[in-house]
């Protein structure tokens, strides 16, 4: 029946896209499930998650302040959307499955807590009390717990799996840091040495621990060592030993532990994925199967198979479908068994590039001209290796011209020459190659070139028009032109085979890096929310033109003469979500993080450092190491 085909098609497409959802098989649930998987509600959901996360821009402390009832209303709308989506999901899968799935429970808890927090917050604001929107830290967790967050959950799982082993290495590492600190305190604390800013050197145990923890991240090397080194050469041995053991051995041990765990669990994850996929396909087979004669084997006929494939991929070409069938039914029997059927999901994922040698449209419309001797000469010329080399040289010359002063009229005019030469190249290529294959999905560089050149052309023309009309040049347009000009040069790497391999490897691992991007956003968002509550308004940025004397100490007298203020770090604050994110990026890069954290400890309390150390442990020791493990493995597999 029609419903059977729908069901089978659903199983196949679940297998194809690695969806592992045990939906109800009643016709109504199947219809709802089809709707659930439609791209529109998914985009809708992500859009509202984005809106929910973006609310931080408008809530206190805000980038663009809005009255709190507007953001509250927007959040209510988001909550509504999430609830509807969850309700939809509940209708799709059996009730017991729904309540057993921790991610659904998580979403419900998040929604409820958010609602409670909003009510409390509203009440407190109404009575003019101090109120904190604490449920904001829960927002990014939605990204993890929605059914579409499969990849992200996998990343979190690999973190969780690595945690026990990391924990033991971390304990040993902290033991080592504490021992070295004790030794430093005993050896250097009583010698009356001073740091460069005149404070006593290594005189307080907790300070020593923090300083030596920072040394592990190398951020205060060699400054932390200089007073001891200036006092006596021999103390250098202590620091070198410390750095060797803690920075090189322990930090690499962290990477090693994470990497081993990652590899081990990657295999397990892949195995589970394959198992789930097979399970779905077996179910699809069970729906479609017929028995060949009395007591014969169970098979799927070509007609049924065709119908399912057409349902799964409505826009598949007949040629492609027939190719797939001939792969499955290699004995040409007109039916296939379970084994052959199961591989369909993988076959559908293989991208088949149909290289049709279509004639050039110009050849069809005016063959005489297109096939004439000069036209053919042009074709041969463009396809010649020398053409590529000539344009690579042109790019190099262009690079030099870009480097030169653009105020020089000669240089400024040369831009037109380069632009037209690049445009000529594209036109020539379009003349020679069939346009549809030139702009095929896989011709990354053709797309890249054309977009860059055309945008540069448009921007340059607008700029010239503005200039000649009013003598006025828009800084923004000029910036865009400059960026486009430089981007244009990137094309040169495509000419060198070795570079192409590396770039292709990087492009292939791109989608997985996006998962890490989400992971980082989740962690950053939580830390940003907490950081804003702890540190908002403590450090203030003053504009360049401001004459306020408070500018020298970021508007907080406690910061007077600190490294934080003297390094001009006032804009690195938690006063809104954007500057928080920038600050967290700086903390991820690690350098100078002790200056940043000491700044915030100065304006609040020394225990504020815990926030920064926690961030370092979680992001740099755990997440960055998982990221590195992922790249190591990806390069091993892909390169």
User: Which 211-230 residues touch Na ion, going by CB under 5 A?
Assistant: 218
Bridge-partner residues for 336, per DSSP?
A: 300
Q: Which residues contact 197 (CB under 8 A, 6 or more apart)?
A: 561, 563
3-state secondary structure 510-561: HHHHHHHHHHHHHHHHHHHHHHHHHHCCCCCCCCCCCCCHHHHHCCCHHHCC
Which of Na ion, its own copies, none binds 220 (CB below 5-8 Å, type-dependent)?
A: its own copies
Which of Na ion, its own copies, none binds 445 (CB below 5-8 Å, type-dependent)?
A: none
612-616 long-range contacts, CB within 8 A, separation 24+? 612/587, 613/210, 613/213, 615/527, 615/584, 615/587, 616/217, 616/587, 616/590
Give whichever of 112 and 172 is closer to its own copies, judged by the CB atom. Answer: 172
Give whichever of 60 and 586 is closer to Na ion, judged by the CB atom. Answer: 586
Bridge-partner residues for 298, per DSSP?
A: 291
Told to check if 424 binds its own copies by CB under 8 A, we report: no
| Exposure letters 492-525 (e unless 16+ CB within 10 A, then b) | bebeeeeeeeebebeeebeeeeebbebbbbbbbb
Which of Na ion, its own copies, none binds 537 (CB below 5-8 Å, type-dependent)?
A: none
Q: Among residues 322, 346, 479, 548, which is the contact residue for its own copies, using CB under 8 A?
A: 479
Q: Whole-angstrom Cα distance, residue 313 to residue 310?
A: 5
In terms of Cβ atoms closer than 10 Å to its own Cβ (0-12, 13-18, 19+), residue 155 is buried
The radius of gyration of the chain from alpha carbons, rounded to an integer in Å, stands at: 31
Told to check if 639 binds its own copies by CB under 8 A, we report: yes
Q: Which residues contact 313 (CB under 8 A, 6 or more apart)?
A: 348
Told to check if 34 binds its own copies by CB under 8 A, we report: no
Give whichever of 218 and 349 is closer to its own copies, judged by the CB atom. Answer: 218
Task: Tell me the residue number closest to Na ion, measured at CB.
Answer: 591
Which of its own copies, Na ion, none binds 444 (CB below 5-8 Å, type-dependent)?
A: none
Rounded to the nearest angstrom, the gap between the alpha carbon of residue 280 and the centroid of all alpha carbons in its chain is 30
Told to check if 272 binds Na ion by CB under 5 A, we report: no
User: Which 195-234 residues touch its own copies, going by CB under 8 A?
Assistant: 196, 205, 218-223, 226, 229-231, 233
The region of 4-12, 172-180, 384-392, 614-622 touching its own copies under the rule CB under 8 A is: 172-180
- Give the interface size with its own copies as a residue count (CB under 8 A): 79
Give whichever of 240 and 606 is closer to its own copies, judged by the CB atom. Answer: 240
Reduced to 3 states (helix: H, G, I; strand: E, B; else coil), residue 248 is helix
Q: Pick from 524, 604, 518: which is nearest to 136 by CA?
A: 524
CB of 568 to its own copies, least distance (A): 5
- Give the interface size with Na ion as a residue count (CB under 5 A): 2
Give whichever of 323 and 637 is closer to its own copies, judged by the CB atom. Answer: 637
Told to check if 454 binds its own copies by CB under 8 A, we report: no
Give whichever of 536 and 571 is closer to its own copies, judged by the CB atom. Answer: 571
Q: Among residues 46, 69, 416, 635, which is the contact residue for its own copies, using CB under 8 A?
A: 635
Q: Among residues 55, 107, 159, 257, which is the contact residue for its own copies, using CB under 8 A?
A: 257
User: Which 589-608 residues touch Na ion, going by CB under 5 A?
Assistant: 591
In terms of Cβ atoms closer than 10 Å to its own Cβ (0-12, 13-18, 19+), residue 382 is middle
Within 146-204, where are the H helices? 150-188
CB of 357 to its own copies, least distance (A): 34
CB of 567 to its own copies, least distance (A): 6
Binding mask 3-42 for Na ion (x = CB under 5 A): ----------------------------------------
Q: Among residues 105, 330, 499, 504, which is the contact residue for its own copies, using CB under 8 A?
A: 499
CB of 37 to its own copies, least distance (A): 32
| Helix, strand, coil percentages in the chain from 3-state DSSP, rounded to 5 | 75, 0, 25
Q: Among residues 29, 489, 552, 618, which is the contact residue for its own copies, using CB under 8 A?
A: 489
CB of 36 to its own copies, least distance (A): 34
User: Which 560-589 residues touch its own copies, going by CB under 8 A?
Assistant: 567-569, 571-572, 578, 582, 585-586, 589
336's enclosing H/E stretch is strand 335-336
Residue reference for tokens 């408008």:
58
Which of its own copies, Na ion, none binds 98 (CB below 5-8 Å, type-dependent)?
A: none
Told to check if 183 binds its own copies by CB under 8 A, we report: yes
Which of Na ion, its own copies, none binds 567 (CB below 5-8 Å, type-dependent)?
A: its own copies
Cβ atoms 583, 574 nearer than 8 A:
yes
CB of 219 to Na ion, least distance (A): 5
User: Which 536-555 residues touch its own copies, going by CB under 8 A?
Assistant: 541, 544
Reduced to 3 states (helix: H, G, I; strand: E, B; else coil), residue 298 is strand
Q: Pick from 420, 381, 416: which is nearest to 401 by CA?
A: 416
Q: Whole-angstrom Cα distance, residue 532 to residue 519?
A: 20
User: How far does the chain reach from its first CA to its final CA, in angstroms?
Assistant: 48
Residue 152: both structure tokens together: 């992200």
User: Which 446-485 residues touch Na ion, going by CB under 5 A?
Assistant: none
Reduced to 3 states (helix: H, G, I; strand: E, B; else coil), residue 166 is helix
Cβ atoms 565, 552 nearer than 8 A:
yes
CB of 592 to Na ion, least distance (A): 8
Give whichever of 204 and 218 is closer to Na ion, judged by the CB atom. Answer: 218
Cβ atoms 2, 308 nearer than 8 A:
no
Give whichever of 333 and 591 is closer to Na ion, judged by the CB atom. Answer: 591
User: Which 539-568 residues touch Na ion, going by CB under 5 A?
Assistant: none
User: Which 377-406 residues touch its own copies, going by CB under 8 A?
Assistant: 399, 402-403, 406
Q: Among residues 8, 243, 432, 452, which is the contact residue for its own copies, using CB under 8 A?
A: 243
| Preceding peptide of 41 cis, ω within 30° | no
CB of 264 to its own copies, least distance (A): 10
> Residues in the site for Na ion, rule: CB under 5 A?
218, 591
């Amino acid at each position: 029946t029609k419903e059977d085909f729908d069901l089978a098609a659903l199983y196949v497409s679940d297998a194809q896209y690695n969806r592992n959802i045990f939906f109800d098989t009643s016709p109504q649930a199947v219809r709802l499930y089809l709707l659930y998987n439609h791209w529109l509600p998914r985009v809708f959901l992500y859009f509202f998650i984005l809106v929910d996360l973006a609310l931080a821009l408008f809530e206190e402390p805000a980038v663009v302040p809005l009255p709190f009832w507007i953001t509250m209303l927007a959040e209510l709308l988001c909550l509504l959307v999430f609830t509807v989506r969850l309700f939809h999901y509940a209708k799709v899968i059996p009730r017991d499955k729904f309540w057993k799935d921790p991610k659904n429970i998580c979403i419900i808890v998040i929604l409820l807590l958010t609602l409670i927090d909003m009510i409390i917050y509203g009440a407190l604001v109404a009575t003019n009390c101090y109120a904190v929107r604490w449920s904001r830290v829960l927002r990014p967790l939605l990204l993890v717990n929605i059914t579409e967050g499969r990849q992200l959950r996998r990343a979190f799982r690999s973190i969780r799996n690595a945690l026990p082993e990391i924990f033991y290495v971390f304990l040993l590492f902290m033991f080592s840091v504490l021992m070295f600190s004790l030794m430093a305190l005993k050896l250097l604390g009583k010698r009356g040495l001073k740091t460069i800013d005149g404070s006593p050197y290594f005189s307080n145990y907790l300070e020593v621990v923090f300083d030596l923890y920072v040394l592990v991240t190398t951020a205060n090397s060699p400054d932390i060592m200089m007073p001891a080194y200036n006092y006596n050469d021999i103390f250098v041995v202590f620091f070198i030993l410390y750095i060797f053991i803690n920075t090189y051995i322990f930090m690499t041990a962290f990477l090693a532990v994470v990497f081993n765990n990652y590899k081990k669990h990657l295999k397990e994850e892949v195995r589970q994925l394959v198992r789930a996929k097979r399970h779905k396909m077996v179910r699809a087979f069970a729906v479609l199967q017929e028995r060949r004669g009395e007591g014969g084997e169970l098979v799927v006929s070509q007609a049924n198979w065709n119908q399912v494939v057409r349902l799964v991929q409505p826009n598949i070409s007949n040629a492609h479908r027939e190719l797939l069938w001939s792969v499955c039914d290699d004995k040409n029997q007109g039916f296939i068994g379970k084994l052959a059927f199961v591989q369909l999901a993988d076959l559908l994922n293989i991208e088949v590039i149909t290289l049709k040698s279509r004639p050039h449209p110009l050849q069809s419309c005016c063959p005489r001209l297109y096939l004439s001797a000069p036209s053919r000469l042009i074709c041969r010329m463009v396809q010649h290796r020398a053409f590529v080399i000539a344009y690579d040289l042109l790019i190099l010359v262009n690079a030099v011209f870009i480097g030169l002063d653009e105020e020089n009229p000669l240089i400024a005019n040369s831009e037109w020459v380069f632009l037209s030469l690049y445009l000529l190249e594209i036109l020539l290529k379009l003349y020679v190659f069939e346009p549809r294959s030139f702009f095929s999905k896989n011709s990354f560089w053709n797309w890249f070139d054309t977009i860059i050149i055309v945008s540069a052309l448009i921007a340059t023309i607008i700029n010239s028009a503005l200039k000649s009309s009013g003598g006025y040049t828009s800084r923004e347009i000029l910036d865009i032109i400059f960026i486009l000009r430089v981007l244009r040069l990137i094309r040169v790497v495509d000419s060198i085979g070795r570079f192409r391999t590396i770039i292709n490897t990087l492009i292939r691992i791109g989608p997985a890096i996006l998962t890490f991007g989400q992971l980082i956003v989740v962690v950053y968002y939580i830390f940003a929310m907490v950081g804003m509550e702890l540190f908002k308004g403590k450090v203030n940025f003053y504009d360049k033109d401001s004459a306020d004397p408070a500018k020298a100490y970021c508007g907080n007298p406690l910061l007077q003469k600190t490294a934080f203020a003297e390094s001009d770090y006032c804009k690195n604050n938690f006063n809104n979500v954007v500057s928080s994110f920038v600050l967290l990026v700086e903390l991820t890069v690690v350098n100078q993080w002790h200056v940043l954290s000491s700044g915030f400890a100065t304006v609040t309390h020394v225990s504020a450092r815990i926030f920064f150390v926690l961030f370092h442990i979680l992001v740099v020791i755990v997440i960055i190491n998982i990221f590195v493990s992922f790249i190591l493995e990806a390069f091993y597999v892909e390169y």
